[in-house]
């Protein structure tokens, strides 16, 4: 289940690392519940429709758009109910419209997806006490994206999809690496469309929960 949210224009410039403010807003709306300690079966996009102001940040003169998707619909219902009573976000943004969208229908054919936020892939390196970031041009990235999606499907109780495979679309000419800072931690992520092979159910699940790590922190959301 997915909702699209439209906001009022901002009253002050959004910093380049506004994502941590967006995460905080989502968590504020969700309130105290067990979802914060569970694997993230949800995703949300970055703010869309803004303009960058050099050396300052972003402005949304006509308001921002973004979406939130949950596999477990009860949490989205909590979100909607709370937004209606507390629409304030940050930097003057306030929710002015919420639209529930119909879930798309997918086929058995391979499907290309654009990103609404970059895909973040990391794995702990044994003996190094550190994490490695995997980008679109790493040979293991496709396997790791598929592995994470399979794990989330298992957590959701969905059947195993032997045909599932996720891969970056390396033919895309504008692929790039994004450096994202959240709570002072810098992470590298990939802004590159993906192609998903698998059942219609698997594609719908990926469209809902996103791809890669930290989808609950605004990474890996799919259009």
Q: Express each pLDDT in 45-82 by its tens digit.
A: 999 999 999 999 999 999 999 999 999 999 999 999 99
Q: Please give the DSSP secondary-structure letter assigned to residue 37.
A: G
Beta bridge partners of 66: 5
Q: Would you identify the CATH topology of the domain 111-217?
A: Alpha-Beta Plaits (3.30.70)
CATH number for the domain formed by residue range(s) 2-101: 3.30.70.1890
Answer yes or no: are the C-beta atoms of 20 and 182 closer than 8 Å: yes
For the stretch 6-15, pLDDT in tens is: 999 999 999 9
**C-alpha pair distances (Å), 34 with each of 38, 112, 187, 198:** 7, 33, 26, 30
> In the chain, where are the structural domains located?
2-101, 111-217
Q: What is the per-residue pLDDT across 122-180, written as a single tens digit (0 to 9) for each?
A: 998 776 568 889 999 999 999 999 999 999 999 999 999 999 999 999 999 999 999 99
Residue 194, exposed/middle/buried by CB under 10 A (0-12, 13-18, 19+)? buried
Q: In Å, how far are 42, 68, 80, 133 from 83, measured between CA atoms?
A: 17, 12, 5, 34
Query: Coil, strand or helix: which one is 180?
Result: strand
The secondary structure of 81-125 as a DSSP string is HHHHH--B-STT-BEEEEEEEPPPP--SS-EEE-BSS-B-EEEEE
Q: Do domains 2-101 and 111-217 have the same CATH topology?
A: yes
Q: Output the pLDDT for position 37.
A: 64
* Angle (nearest 5°) at CA 6 between 88 and 61: 85
CA neighbor of 42 nearest in space, from 190, 197, 194, 220: 220
């Amino acid at each position: 289940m997915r909702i699209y949210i439209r906001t009022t224009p901002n009253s002050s410039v959004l910093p380049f690392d506004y994502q941590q403010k967006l995460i905080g807003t989502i968590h504020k709306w969700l309130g105290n519940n067990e979802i914060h300690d569970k694997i993230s079966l949800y995703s949300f996009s970055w703010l869309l429709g803004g303009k960058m102001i050099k050396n300052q940040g972003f402005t949304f003169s006509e308001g921002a758009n973004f979406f939130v998707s949950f596999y477990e619909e009860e949490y989205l219902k909590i979100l909607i109910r709370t937004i209606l009573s507390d629409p304030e976000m940050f930097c003057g943004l306030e929710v002015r419209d919420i639209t529930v969208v119909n879930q798309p229908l997918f086929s058995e054919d391979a499907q290309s997806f654009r990103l609404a936020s970059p895909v973040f892939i990391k794995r702990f390196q044994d003996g190094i006490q550190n994490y490695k970031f995997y980008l679109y041009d790493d040979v293991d990235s496709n396997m790791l994206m598929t592995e994470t999606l399979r794990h989330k499907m298992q957590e959701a109780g969905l059947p195993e999809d032997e045909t599932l495979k996720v891969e970056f679309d390396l033919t895309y000419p504008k692929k790039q690496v994004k450096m994202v800072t959240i709570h002072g931690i810098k992470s590298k992520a990939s802004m590159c469309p993906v192609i998903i092979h698998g059942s219609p159910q698997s594609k719908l699940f990926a469209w809902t929960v996103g791809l890669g790590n930290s989808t609950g922190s605004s990474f890996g959301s799919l259009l």
